[in-house]
Structure 1
Amino acid sequence: MKYFLIFSFFIFSSLLVAQTKVSGVVKDASGTSVAFANVIFKDSNIGTITNEEGRFYLESDDDHEAVVFSFVGYETKEVVLDGSTTYKMEIILNEEASALDEVVIFTGKTSKKDNPALVILRKIWENRRENGVKKFNQYSYDKYEKLEFDLNTIDSTLIKSKIFKGMEFIWDQIDTSNITGNSYLPIFINEAVSKVYGDNLLDEEKEILKGNKNSGFSNNQTLIAFVKDLYKEYDVYDNYLKFFDKAFTSPLSRTGIDVYNYVLLDSAYRDNKWCYNIVYYPRRKGELTFKGDFWVNDTTWAIKEINLRASKSANLNWVREVYIEQEFDVLNDSVFLITRDYFLSDFSFRKKEEAQGVYGRRTTLFDNYSFDIPKEKSFYGEQVDPYSEEIYNRPDEFWAENRMEELNKDEKGVYEMLDTLKTVPRFQTFYKLGATLATGYYEVGDFDVGPVFSIFGFNEAEGFRVRLGGRTYFGQNDPWRIEGFGAYGFRDQRFKYGISAKWLLDRKSRLTVFAGNRRDVEQTGASLTNSNDVLGRSLASSSLISVGANDRLTRINLTTAGFSFEPAKNFQARVTGSYRTLESATETFSLDYLDENGNVQSEISQPEIELGLFYTPKRKTSGYGVERTIINDGDFANIYLGYTYGIKDAFGGDFEYSKIQALYSQPWNIGGFGRLFTTVEAGTILDPVPLGLLSPIPGNQTYFSLYNTFSNLDFYEFVSDTYTSLHLQHNFGGRIFSRIPFLRDLDLREVVGFRAVYGSISDENIALNAPNGLLLQAPEDIYYEYSIGVGNIFRIFRLDFNFRGNYLDNPGARRFGVTGIFGFSF
């Protein structure tokens, strides 16, 4: 009886909510798919265009009796609908002879000389900076943003899966996408209301968050920040639109004519403005391009509406679909301002349409524009606390007043559904597993065990090594944190450990004190710009497999204490006092040196004071505790300047010296040509010091591709007291392979690298270190090497082929080597 009642309820509900859904494919008389054909419900403004395979999906909350199909050069076709749902339609359009005589149809590669669409495109280029908020000295507006994630392509097999046992109630929220036609289940939603201020004269912009609400993760600002960074804002007028760390060529780009074909399809009034409709599609497969259409005004040459759909053949991992819509409104009969921005992406491990995936959807609405109301420059520099409890706990009345569009029934239901889901033990288990894979730590109450990825290692000193650690974790905004680890080497049968603590004393200035101690085996010289991180450890001394004997290892006992603060955003000053003892960890490697009396010493005892200045412009972080999570890692510059003073006699110090170091690293998006990573390092030690305190050029005897190391150098092959190094690595993102027929469908990516270093070492340092028996050599004739890599193998692996450029006569010189690296990237 109860099943009958439930069935009756759903039937009754469907009668209350009128809805029409259609999907299918449009072809011509020869069976060829018709891309970018117009599909519209009769006597309505609800429509779409077919994709490059001629497929379409269209839905409406109203009843419609017919759907109309049209395309330039074909007869318009009207199809009467028998019911509210009609799937898998196959529409045949016949060529229209009269239209073919009157309209020039461009197919394939459109001519740049005679194409009227390109005349309009050039007008857009000429006026691109004359529209929107850029036309005013100052501006402000209200912004409402809604982010949602949905599990999609849901079928009966998934619903009946044992994985969801005990969570069956979630399937009550299933609906269908009006973009792809696939079923979906909302699993996360986040809403934000903010006020944006900008000054084009000062080149400043500031966004003040007024309210934030999300389903099930109210206090997880890190998750919210990661999601928002994934869907960065963009401007369709820019030459390149960056999504998921990939630079797509905009159809409005000045270089668009090199990668797109354009067709002038139609002209009509849009909101009482005469506009032209232009369809665009990629010239070649495999490039980061879109397909779609836009409407452009005939006097201001501003975009009125635009939609963009990523090409199916775009070299993009884990993303099956990208779809964008933007709408603009008219101000003062001339200026067009964006009012709505919709972004949908379909994440999936497989690109097949029937594979399960996750929709990520962002809807941004803009309203209440104001112009030419200046504010003091200091206004833009004032810090705004985005983590106020009040902001994340606004009442329902606030949202009813500030939402620019109502939530639909699915979005309303997901709040309650996820709050319930959090109480299900099986879901809690899945959540913990996902958090472990993301952070490397497994949560046990208020203590995290990990990092789980560094439990096992091997080196010549310790043999097989086991390491286990953990940290306190009461919440992401903890004002203090203690971390530690213990390790044991089965060859040297020694126990190692490390422990550190840090405490945030002042949240505004981020004044932090820290201290720690570590006894361990380390590969010193694994990087040029050193840090006294107590818990730091290089892969070089803990990797399971290495090239040749990895025996040039050091036993270190390091104690540090210091403080840091941030006088300005993303600028940190740090003062560290340290004391360390160094001795060789193997019998085949020596740190021996001559003391001031001419006696040979094997152990170094050295206190230091270091002043470090760190600047990371445009870095984004989440949280306000003693540790913050970097949101846009690898997407900002790193600048470091450090001075170290070595103290002699005090605390048993052996040497007095000064060391200066500098580092600058920067990623660059080179338009449609991929992404370039650059690093420049320089440093000098002004006084004679033993080998343990010099600057070895960082070699790499592992089989991993390690950025900022030299893949064909052994450890300590070059040692310097003054150095300058350059590292370049460029990922073309498949631009070359996409033009090779038999490689095109593999989605491989080309990576090239170049590394060079100059160094010198003084006669005093050579004499001081004579007893260790190591022939100290610096690369005074600039050492260089280069590499050619094939990335995106199985979408998770890159293989690099490394070539040594010179110093080929050095004993045991490795002329060629192969390294690899695993990683997930879009």
Structure 2
Amino acid sequence: ESNETHTAIWVSFVGYALKKVELSKRTNYEMEIVLKEEAATLGEVVIFSGKTSKKDNPAITILRKIWENRRENGVKKFKQYNFDKYEKLEFDLNTIDSALIKSKIFKGMEFIWEQIDTSSITGNTYLPIFINEAYSKVYGDNEMSREKEILEGNKNSGFENNQALIAFVKDLYSDYNVYDNYLKFFDKAFTSPLSRTGIDVYNYVLLDSAYRENKWCYNIVYYPRRKNELTFKGDFWVNDSTWAIKEINLQASKSANLNWVREVYIEQEFEVLNDSIFLITRDYFLSDFSLRKKEGARGIYGKRTTLYNNYEFDIPKDKNFYKAQVDPYQYEIYNRPDSFWDERRMEALSKDEKGVYKMLDTLKTVPRFKALYDIGAMFASGYYEFNNFDFGPIFSTFGYNEAEGFRIRAGGRTYFGQNDRWRLEGFGAYGFKDNKFKYGISGKWLVDRKSRLVIFGGNRRDVEQMGASLTSSTDVLGRSLASSALITVGANDKLTRLNLSTIGLEAELANNFITRVTGAYRTMRSATETFSLSYLDEFGDIQNEISQPEIEFSINYTPGRKNLGYGVERKVINDGEYPTIFASYSMGLKDIFNGDFEYQKLQALYTQPWNIGGFGRAFTTFEIGKIYGDVPLALLSPIPGNQTLFSIYNTFNQLEFYEFVSDTYASFHFQHDFGGRFFARIPWVRKLNLREVVGFRAVYGELSEVNAALNVDTMGNPIIYQAPEDVYWEWSIGVGNIFKVFRIDFNFRGNYLDNPGARKFGMTGVFGFSF
């Protein structure tokens, strides 16, 4: 395809004679061209297939030498190190054809096609649509096991929310080391060809040996032993004396159980220092995102090029240097002059890359493009953007429960930019069964950016499913899915009319270590006639409403969490990748603001994700809690049931709401996604790319006789609630990645099978997009 007029084309193919085809006019041709065979001598073509032997294989002997010397390579051989780092991120729209160019979607934006280029790796045409450059100084100390990266410059082709995109892409291509057993990206753990488990996963062939930059090296080719596993194919060059990698390339297996990614390609290059030490100088990562893996389907290239230079060693820095936090969001960092980049850019931009900056500046002035951008942002964030105001979240617009019937909700938030110092948020809702209006409003203000001192407060009048989680929350606008799920199992009538007001402050005393003090005042009463929160007061009178002020002190520690931005709200870009440690102490106040009860509550939670290499990924959660004092149902700790058709982590899928109630509890949750490890070994199932998920949940609880005796119905008749004094447990097996977006869990109740209405078996599901 060409915009120029040509009179002929030349057609060639390996082993056939060159042929000239005349073109009579400028038009679209559909041709069938026949070439004549040509006698020629081809160079050697080497094709590898089948399983290689693990015994007497020189490639595996070399691999073992690499294992023995892996910790002695690169910067790890020095006490301290520092170097310059240049990183370029790029997104490209690929597989550009005439149909796409002529599409009405791009009417008024035809100038973008001037930037089309062809990939040297895949051979597909592509259009650069986004580029970001970053320059940093990296310091490390191997004796203290510390590393610090200081961003000195950042330039992007930008829209205002580009930093979220940049962070998302960086997390996808998180730093990896080819010497590690597993390389993690796209939330998956790929087996490295240099892994100690590699001989069970890959076939290795010693192909060649030659000098590479005056160093004698061996060339080893590798490819997977089995299909549908998270593996690569490619080759690497390794030095014969240091056993350090000189060059390596990795291409993900086409059959890998990976969604939305058609191609993954990695190249790394190393240079020699002092005749023995190999340091990485270039790291290139290309991925091809596409809804379909079929050849010819359109997609988006994600590319990251990282260059390293100016290595220095054994220049010590004290501990305070590594402890001191550096503000990466200074204005000048994102507004460096062109001269800064001309001096520090380690690889010149191509003509097309240079054109991206100008093209996107022009695109932002095209109304049609802005409309498409806003629609895409709405589905990604759940909010539709207006000037300084976001409407949403749109996914909470409709709901249903027994108290309100069909429910409609509308809300929004102030939004001047992702780094706002303050934010207001609110909603209004209406139920067509109870004919009542509900609302909520909250605000927060970042007083000090360094300590992240935040003042917050709000008020909400709403219908809520209390006890949807063991660890209670004073989030004034937080609302559980169970409160308004459109489809439920059994009667969703155990609901509470809640009036909650909060005020408080929080501070981040250390990185990801947040302390919070909250004052809350709530009133609670039953929202339906079939559910009672009534209790007997100290005089034996029936009370149908509880008024309760409370003060809570809490800490929340999330080591390893990556946050984006510096405003009052920050985005977490690696959700589910870090542990969470939470602890709180709450004190209920009596006779202050008409408080009804005096009590103390202790709660703690610990959640830990586990990457288990080739065996997938697991989550575990431990929770414990204790209430000291005499309190009725509304202030106790119900064991969180799940009456929706969705699998909700940290709930019990086979329990009804309020089936178990406690004032002392300990629970354990376990979930393991094997990522298709076993399905990949079943020939007729393998191509479906299904994934296995197993789960186990257990809880122990106690309920004092005094607290149990407080609860009555509106007529004063006792209501007896049960605690799981014999540990309640249930388990599940699931099939995930159905059509790439669904998971079905089969849930089995382990005991308490004789409880009234006990659900012995149930099915729940998950819908979502994941790699």
Calculate the TM-score normalised by the size of structure 2: 0.95
Q: Distance in 1 between matches of 2:90 and 2:48?
A: 39
Which of residues 305, 323, 346 is equivalent to 1:381? 323
The number of equivalent residue pairs is 753
In the alignment, is residue 817 of structure 1 matched against residue 759 of structure 2? no
Tell me whether 579-588 or 430-439 shows the greater mean CA deviation: 430-439
CA 1:139/1:190 → structure 2, altered by over 3 Å: closer, same or farther? same
Whether 2:701 is the aligned partner of 1:759: answer: yes
Q: Which residue does the alignment assign to 2:167?
A: 225
Take 2:756 and 2:320, find their aligned partners in 1: how far apart are those partners? 61
Counterpart CA distance in 1 for 2:718 and 2:326 is 58
Q: Which amino acid aligns with 2:732?
A: S
Of residues 358, 367, 374, the one that matches 1:425 is 367
Alignment of 1:177-192 (within 5 A): 177-192=119-134
Tell me the residue number matched to 1:562: 504
Tell whether 2:138 aligns with 1:138: no
TM superposition shift of 1:798 = 0.5
Please list the CA deviations of residues 729-751 of structure 1 after superposition, one character each: whole Å capped at 9, or x if unmatched: 10010111010011100011101
Contact 2:655 2:758 in 1 (8 A): yes
Distance verdict in 2 for CA 1:486–1:476, change over 3 Å: same
Change (3 A) 1:80 1:296: farther
CA contact (8 A) 2:709 2:718 kept: no
Supply the AA of the counterpart residue of 1:626. V
Q: Is the 8 A contact 1:590 1:772 kept in 2?
A: no
1:809 match: secondary structure? coil
CA distance in 2, matches of 1:106, 1:81: 30
When residues 91 and 654 of structure 1 are mapped into structure 2, their CA distance, relative to the original with a 3 A threshold, is farther
Q: Counterpart of 1:124 in structure 2: which amino acid?
A: I
Q: Residue 186 of structure 2 corresponds to which residue in structure 1?
A: 244
SS at match of 1:427: helix
1:127 corresponds to 2:69: yes
Q: What residue in structure 2 maps to residue 685 of structure 1?
A: 627
Q: Do structure 1's residue 312 and structure 2's residue 254 form an aligned pair?
A: yes
**Which of residues 298, 309, 331 in structure 1 aligns to 2:273?**
331
- Secondary structure of the corresponding residue to residue 63 of structure 2: helix
Whole-Å Cα distance in 1 between the matches of residues 386 and 115 of structure 2?
32
Q: Structure 2: which amino acid aligns with 1:618? A: G
Q: Which runs of 5+ in 1 are unaligned?
A: 12-20, 25-66, 68-77
Q: Secondary structure at the match of 2:66?
A: helix
Task: For 1:269 and 1:223, locate their aligned partners in 2 and report how far apart those are by CA, in whole Å.
Answer: 42
TM-fit CA distance, 1:346: 0.2
Cα distance in 1 for residues equivalent to 2:163 and 2:171:
12
- In the alignment, structure 1 residue 778 sits paired with structure 2 residue 720: no
Structure 2 partner of 1:791? 736
Is residue 406 of structure 1 aligned with residue 351 of structure 2? no
Which residue matches 2:753?
Answer: 808
> 1:91–1:393: structure 2 CA closer, same or farther, 3 Å change rule?
farther
Paired letter, 2:669 = H
Query: Equivalents in 2 of 1:593, 1:139: separation in Å?
Result: 67
Match of 1:698 among 640, 648, 651: 640
Q: 1:528 to 1:572 in 2, by over 3 A?
A: same
**In 2 relative to 1, CA 470–178 (structure 1 residues): closer, same or farther, beyond 3 Å?**
same
Q: Which residue of 1 aligns with 2:24?
A: none
Aligned ranges for residues 510-529 of structure 1 at < 5 Å? Answer: 510-529=452-471
Which residue of the partner structure matches residue 462 of structure 1? 404
Q: Does 1:618 align with 2:560?
A: yes
The Cα of 1:216 is off from its aligned counterpart by 2.4
Instruction: Find 2:617's aligned residue among 672, 675, 680.
Output: 675
- What is the deviation of 1:774? 3.3
1:371-424: CA deviation from partner (whole Å, max 9, x where unpaired): 111101111111111111100000000000000010011101111111111111
CA contact (8 A) 1:590 1:773 kept: no
Question: Structure 2 CA distance, aligned partners of 1:184 and 1:275?
Answer: 36
Alpha carbon RMSD of aligned pairs, Å?
2.3
In the alignment, residue 303 of structure 1 is paired with which amino acid? Answer: I
Q: Look up the equivalent residue of 2:418 and give its one-letter code.
A: Q
The match for 1:453 is 395
* CA shift digits 1:297-346 (9 cap, x unpaired): 00000000000000000000000000000000001000000000000000
Note the alpha carbon deviations across 1:247-302, whole angstroms, 9 max, x for none. Answer: 00000000001110000011111111110000000000000000000000000000
1:504 counterpart residue number: 446
Q: Which residue of 2 aligns with 1:739?
A: 681
Aligned residue number for residue 70 of structure 1 = none
Secondary structure of 2:93's counterpart equals strand
Counterpart of 1:286?
228
User: Which residue does 1:299 correspond to in 2?
Assistant: 241
What SS does the corresponding residue of 1:352 show, helix, strand or coil? coil
Task: Label 1:219 to 1:469 Cα distance change in 2 as closer, same or farther (>3 A).
Answer: closer
Per the alignment, in what secondary structure is the counterpart of residue 692 of structure 2? strand
Q: Which residue of 2 aligns with 1:769?
A: 711
Task: State the 1:109 CA deviation.
Answer: 1.6
Percent of residue pairs bearing the same amino acid type: 75
Answer yes or no: is the 8 Å Cα contact 1:216–1:422 preserved in 2: no
Task: Say which SS state the counterpart of residue 390 (structure 1) adopts.
Answer: helix
Give CA-to-partner distance per residue, 1:130-153, whole Å, 9 cap, x none. Answer: 101111111100000000000001
CA-to-partner distance for each residue in 1:504-559, whole Å, 9 max, x for gaps?
11010011101100000000000000111110111111000110100000000000
Which residue number in structure 1 is paired with residue 27 of structure 2?
none
The DSSP-based 3-state class of the residue aligned with 2:317 is coil
Q: Tell me the amino acid that sits aligned with residue 290 of structure 2.
A: S
Of 53, 63, 77 in structure 2, the residue corresponding to residue 111 of structure 1 is: 53
Q: Does 1:584 align with 2:506?
A: no
1:218–1:392 CA contact under 8 A, matched in 2: no
Aligned counterpart in structure 1 of residue 415 of structure 2, from 468, 473, 488: 473
> Do 1:23 and 1:181's aligned partners in 2 also have CA atoms closer than 8 Å?
no
Aligned to 1:71: none
The one-character-per-residue Cα deviations of 1:77-113 (angstroms, maximum 9, x if unpaired) are x999899xxx9999999999xx99xx9x975221111
| CA–CA separation in structure 2 for the residues paired with 1:701 and 1:345 | 40
Letter of the aligned partner of 1:818 in structure 2? Answer: M
Q: Which letter does structure 1 place at the counterpart of 2:172?
A: L
Paired position in structure 2 for 1:354: 296
Aligned CA distance change for structure 1 residues 553 and 321 (closer, same or farther; 3 Å): same
CA distance in 2 between counterparts of 1:455 and 1:609 reads 32
Per the alignment, residue 42 of structure 1 pairs with: none
- C-alpha separation in 1, matches of 2:11 and 2:629: 79
Secondary structure of the corresponding residue to residue 217 of structure 1: coil
Residue number among 138, 154, 159 corresponding to 1:196 in the alignment: 138
Asked if the contact 2:534–2:543 (Cα under 8 Å) also holds between the matched residues in 1, the reply is yes
1:39 is matched with none
> Secondary structure at 1:225's aligned position in 2?
helix
Cα shift at 1:217: 2.7
Task: Determine the structure 1 residue equivalent to 2:26.
Answer: none
- What letter is aligned with 1:353? E
TM-score normalised by L of structure 1:
0.88
How much has 1:114 moved relative to structure 2? 1.5
Q: CA, structure 1 residues 314+93, in 2 after alignment: closer, same or farther (shift >3 Å)?
A: farther
| Contact 2:503 2:520 (C-alpha < 8 Å) held by counterparts | yes
Deviations 1:747-774 (A, max 9, x none): 1110100001111111111112244643
Partners of 1:693 and 1:122 lie apart in 2 by 61
Q: Letter of the aligned partner of 2:274 in structure 1?
A: N
* Rounded Cα–Cα distance in structure 1 between residues aligned with 2:363 and 2:39: 47
Q: CA 1:95–1:476 in 2, change beyond 3 Å: closer, same or farther?
A: closer
- Contact kept, 8 Å, 1:483 with 1:499, in 2: the verdict is yes
Work out whether residues 219 and 392 of structure 1, in 8 Å CA contact, stay in contact via their aligned partners in 2.
no
